[in-house]
Structures are given as C-alpha cells and as structure tokens.
Amino acid sequence: MSQTIRTTRGRGRLYDSILDTVGDTPTIRVNNLGPDGVQIYVKAEFFNPAASVKDRLALNIIEAAERSGELTPGQTVVEATSGNTGIGLAMVCAQKGYPLVVTMADSFSVERRRLMRMLGARVVLTPRAQKGTGMYNKAVELAQKHGWFLARQFETEANADIHEATTAQEILGDFAGGRLDYVVTGYGTGGTVSGLARVLRRERPDTKIVLTEPANAALVGSGIPQERGEGHGPAASHPAFEPHPIQGWTPDFIPFVLQEALDKGGYDELIPVTGAQGMEWARKLASREGILTGVSGGSTFAVAMQIAERCEPGTVILAMLPDTGERYLTTPLFQDIPEDMDEAERALSESTPGYRME
C-alpha cells in the first residue's frame, strides 16, 4: 500500500499583523459521523487567530469606526460580551493600540475573562441575575460616563456587513460548482445569518438556511417581538428567555442585527436544540472526527445531524462551528472528562514495571 507524505510550502506571503489572518477559515468534511450518502461539512471558525467567528466582526467594528471617525486614536473601546467578541476585540485593540473595557455577566466561563485580560483588556463583571441586558446596560453607562466608543455588536451594520463580505464569499468559493443544500447556524448577535442570507438568497437561492436557538430560550420561536429602546438596543429582557448552557448564543433579547433576517425571510426553517444535545455532539466531533469545538458548535452540528437523518442521499449540509472547545474547560462540556487516570489507564500503566504513578 503506497503512502503519501504530507508536505507544506507556506502560504506564499508574509503578514503585516495578526489582523491580516482573520477569515478564510477552512470548510472540513465530516467522515465518521452522519448517515451514508449525506455529505456534512463544518466551517471551522476556530481557525481565526483568536479562535472564534467573532474575530471577523470585532475587526470590522473597529475599522468601520476608524473610517467614519467615530473612533479616535487612543480612545477607549467598551463592549458587552459573553466572551468571544470581547476576546476578538481585545486582539484587535492590542494590535491597534486602543484600551478596551469589557462588561460580562459572571455566569460565563472564567477562561474567557482570563483570555481577555491576557490580551490587555479590563473586564467588568455584572451579576448573572441581570442577564445579558445587565451587561449591555453597564457598557452603555460606562460609554456615556467616560466618553468611550461603544462597539454595539448587537446593533451595528458592521456586523452583518463583514459576513456578507467574507464568510458568505468563502462559502460560495468552497462550494462553487457543487451542491449545497443546507447551511445551519445559530445566533448570538445574528450577524452570521443576516450576512449569509444577503448573499446566499441571491447567489445560491436553492440553498436552505436553517436557524437554530436553545430549546429553553426560544426567543425567535416564541413569535414575541423584542421591545427596543434607544439605538435599537433592548429595552427589556425578552419574556421567552431562560438561562441556557449554550454560551455565546441567544442573549436575553433579540439583537437588532438578527432582526434583518427575521423581517426579510433570511432563514427557511427554525429548529431548536437543547444544551445537552450540543454537548453530546461536541464530544462526538472531538472523539470521532478530531474536531474540537464548543457547545455552540456542537449544537449547530446536532441540528445538522437532524437534517441529515431526514434527507435523501446526495444532500450536502454545512454547519457553522463558531469557536473552539478550549473556551469551555470549566463548563459542563468537560465535567465528565477526568483529570486523573481512570481504571483502564491505570491498568495500562501497571502492565509494565517502570514509571508508575503511585
């Protein structure tokens, strides 16, 4: 049997900064999971330099504000985030020289706040009982008090714009000349689905866009409109919200960025998913495919698997994987992953005489 030795030749270019490496994330075929005859792919957004899809919007928010003059040299940036946008903003601000303050509910994983601080940001925690609207309102207060630039990831046009200009174009290129029957995505701000819909509705009208959200926080599925305040921000917590374990998805309000997809028919089907399903499939992607994604990625993939089970052979499905599993080490995703040797590992250790742990 012949063997192919893998080789690399470099990218053929030198990068001026870490920011030039944002985007162009790979689309990867899933080989060991899923029914026969159905092709499932994942778009691995953890290949972005700060390991999540939010690197895209973080970069565009800052550069759009620079172009418009809203953000001036040395001005402090402030934003409310569950973590990934804050990490992306911390990377961008570190490179460009802007101080960054992040507001974040204390319910989100400690890895996220430590990563932001590692990248030079200051993190202001808000009580978990106040949910996403609490951290959002704190960011607004700080911006107004100190004259800081508020990034407004949940409202800014720069969010969906970057997915229209990059993410959607990458998908068109990756599937050029081939089938693409379904694209599956959840929402945190709604930028991904809104940006993809602008392009896919025009360029790939046969591709169905499937939106997903937590089953116990089905804000879109409830049909209840979001109450909005100044600047299209949330005026109150959405009545259908309940705390859920899919960090990064579905704050306790419907973001204004997502409203575009809701109002303009930017998705074909809405499928809820439980956090338990998301964790189950995140673990299976890791152990069966070597693809390490977080709970949001596992949840998106869980919905892709539901679609795959009902589809005819030949169907092609793409699932968006927003971030890496390493963002979740202190969360329930890893609670059954032991630190110490289990019985089978200890038996392996004891099968030879040397270097045993007592």
CA–CA separation, 54 and 322 (whole Å): 8
Q: Are 268 and 125 contained in the same domain?
A: no
289 and 197 belong to one structural domain: yes
Burial class (CB in 10 A: 0-12, 13-18, 19+), 219: buried
What range does the domain containing 59 cover?
Answer: 54-150
Q: Are residues 176 and 286 in the same domain?
A: yes
Answer yes or no: is 219 within a domain.
Answer: yes
* Residue 78 counted as domain residue: yes
How do residues 122-162 score in pLDDT, each as one tens digit? Answer: 999 999 999 999 999 999 999 999 999 999 999 999 999 99
What value does the mean pLDDT take over residues 228-237?
A: 93
The end-to-end CA distance of the chain, in Å, is 43
For the cut 60, the answer to whether the pLDDT of residue 4 exceeds it is yes
- Are residue 194 and residue 317 in the same domain, yes or no? yes
Question: What residues are paired with 44 via a beta bridge?
Answer: 321
Exactly one of 43, 54, 131, 138 is catalytic; which is it? Answer: 54
Give tens-digit pLDDT for 328-340. Answer: 999 999 999 999 9
Q: Please give the average per-residue pLDDT across 302-330, as a whole number.
A: 97
Quote the CA–CA distance of 106 and 124 in Å, as a whole number.
Answer: 9
SS3 call for 326: helix
Number of domains composing the chain: 2
Report yes or no on 77 lying in a domain.
yes
Q: Is residue 31 a part of any domain in this protein?
A: yes
Q: Does one domain contain both 203 and 326?
A: yes
Rounded Cα gap, residues 347 and 358, in angstroms: 12
Encoded tokens for 228: 């909005």
Does 273 fall in a domain?
yes
Same domain, 252 and 236: yes
Shared-domain flag, residues 96 and 237: no
Q: Which of 83, 115, 150 is the last residue of a domain?
A: 150
The token pair at 152 is 């407004």
Residue of 109, 194, 296, 299 marked catalytic: 296
d(CA 203, CA 189): 24
Rounded to two decimals, what is the model's pTM? Answer: 0.94
Is residue 63 domain-shared with residue 141, that is, in the same domain?
yes
- Give me the helices (H) in the chain, please: 54-68, 84-96, 110-118, 131-146, 157-162, 168-174, 191-203, 219-222, 256-263, 275-284, 295-310, 343-350
User: What is the widest separation between alpha-carbon atoms in the chain?
Assistant: 70
121: domain CATH number?
A: 3.40.50.1100
Residues 168 and 312: their CA atoms lie apart, in Å, by 25
- Residue 353 exposure: Cα atoms within 13 Å on the Cβ side: 0
**Other CB atoms closer than 10 Å to residue 190's CB: what's the count?**
28
What span, in angstroms and rounded, lies between the C-alpha atoms of 56 and 204?
22
Give me the amino acid identity at 234.
Answer: P
- The number of C-alpha atoms within 13 Å of 89 and in the hemisphere containing its C-beta is 32
Do both 224 and 146 map to the same domain? Answer: no
* Rg for the chain, CA atoms, rounded: 21
Contact 82, 189 (CB under 8 A): no
Reduced to 3 states (helix: H, G, I; strand: E, B; else coil), residue 272 is strand
Tell the residue number behind the tokens 């800014």, with chain if given. Answer: 156
Q: Identify whether 211 is part of a domain.
A: yes
Q: Residue 93 in contact with residue 62, Cβ under 8 Å?
A: yes
What's the mean per-residue pLDDT of the chain?
96
pLDDT tier, 2 (very low <50, low <70, confident <90, very high otherwise): low
Question: Does residue 54 carry a catalytic annotation?
Answer: yes
The whole-number average pLDDT for the span 74-88 is: 95
Whether 9 is covered by a domain: the verdict is: no
Same domain for 227 and 313, yes or no, is yes
On whether both 293 and 196 belong to a single domain, the answer is yes
pLDDT band at 3 (very low <50, low <70, confident <90, very high): confident
**Distance between CA atoms of residues 192 and 265, nearest Å:** 14
In this structure, the answer to whether residues 111 and 199 fall within a common structural domain is no
- Chain segment 11-51, per-residue pLDDT in tens: 999 999 999 999 999 999 999 999 999 999 999 999 999 99
Is residue 156 included in any domain, yes or no?
A: no
